[in-house]
């Protein structure tokens, strides 16, 4: 979708053309959903956050003036919607009666991750998220751009008005700081799997 097409759809959707809004959702839902999943660590939360994002976007379309790309605007909404859900679930954890959830067997496609794997993945994503949130603003922003939104060096450089070389070194600093936090907290170990992979690579190299 070009910028012009996008803006035309935004205008149409703002005046009640739901087909135009559906095109917008189809275009952006993958990015929105994946970002929400990486932040929340759960498919259900990611779905809720994505729906909140698009409904809020719909309610506020008239306020979108096209100064930034729609994707950037949606990114902010997704981030906020995900954080809202995270906050709520933190609160929920304190008061929820665990018996509610016991005995509930989640539906799972046969080839999907097992509940154990899901829990492990969620815990990892939560640990990484909390460490990212503990970073200072500059480091957090650049890590979100690269690791959560998969932006290229060039796009990050443009967004932050930096040279690409500066992006590379700042990203390296941010990653090192993140590793430091994760190591200190030691809540989740990433070592086993990654070491295995590296060892595998080494082994292959020696073949």
Among 1, 7, 11, 51, binds other proteins (CB under 8 A): 51
Out of 43, 64, 140, 159, the only residue in the binding site for other proteins (CB under 8 A) is: 43
* DSSP 8-state code for residue 144: I
Which ranges constitute the DSSP H helices of 135-190?
A: 137-143, 153-160, 164-185
Size of the site for other proteins (CB under 8 A): 51
Residue whose entry in the numeric block shows the structure tokens 């030691």: 186
DSSP-based three-state secondary structure for 186: coil
Tokens, residue 14: 């703002």
From 1-9, 67-75, 101-109, 170-178, give the range in contact with other proteins by CB under 8 A: 170-178
Out of 67, 102, 116, 191, which residue is the one contacting other proteins (CB under 8 A)? 191
Q: How is residue 49 written in tokens?
A: 């956050």
The half-sphere exposure of 197 on its side-chain side, counting CA atoms within 13 A, is 4
Which is nearer to other proteins, 11 or 124 (by Cβ)? 124
Segment near other proteins (CB under 8 A); pick from 2-10, 55-63, 66-74, 95-103: 55-63
Q: For residue 121, state whether it binds other proteins (rule: CB under 8 A).
A: yes
How many Å apart are CA 40 and CA 141, to the nearest integer? 17
> Is 148 among the residues that bind other proteins (CB under 8 A)?
yes
The conformation of residue 68, written as its DSSP 8-state character, comes to S
Angle at 108 between CA 105 and CA 114, to 5 degrees: 90
86 binds other proteins (CB under 8 A): no
Measure Cα distances from 151 to 59, 190, 198 in Å.
28, 23, 25
Identity of the residue, 10 or 25, whose beta carbon is nearer to other proteins in the bound complex: 25
Q: Applying CB under 8 A, does 158 fall inside the site for other proteins?
A: no
Q: What residues line the site for other proteins (CB under 8 A)?
A: 16, 18, 21-22, 25-26, 29-30, 32-34, 37-38, 43, 47, 50-51, 54-55, 58-60, 84, 87-88, 121, 124-125, 128, 146-148, 153, 168-169, 171-173, 175-176, 178-179, 182-183, 190-191, 193-195, 197-198
């Amino acid at each position: 979708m070009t910028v012009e097409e996008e803006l035309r759809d935004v205008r149409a959707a703002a005046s009640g053309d739901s087909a135009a809004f559906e095109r917008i959702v189809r275009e952006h839902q993958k990015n929105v959903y994946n970002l929400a999943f990486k932040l929340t660590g759960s498919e259900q939360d990611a779905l809720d956050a994505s729906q909140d994002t698009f409904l809020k976007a719909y309610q506020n379309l008239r306020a979108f003036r096209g100064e930034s790309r729609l994707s950037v605007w949606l990114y902010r909404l997704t981030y906020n919607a995900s954080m809202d859900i995270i906050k709520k679930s933190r609160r929920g954890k304190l008061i929820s009666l665990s018996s509610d959830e016991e005995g509930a067997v989640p539906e799972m496609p046969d080839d999907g991750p097992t509940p154990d794997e899901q829990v492990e993945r969620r815990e990892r994503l939560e640990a990484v998220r909390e460490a990212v949130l503990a970073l200072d603003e500059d480091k957090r922003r650049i890590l979100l751009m690269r690791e959560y939104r998969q932006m290229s060096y060039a796009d990050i450089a443009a967004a932050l008005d930096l040279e690409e070389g500066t992006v590379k070194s700042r990203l390296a600093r941010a990653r090192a700081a993140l590793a430091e936090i994760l190591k200190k907290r030691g809540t989740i170990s990433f070592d086993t799997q990654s070491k295995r992979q590296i060892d595998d690579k080494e082994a292959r190299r020696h073949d």
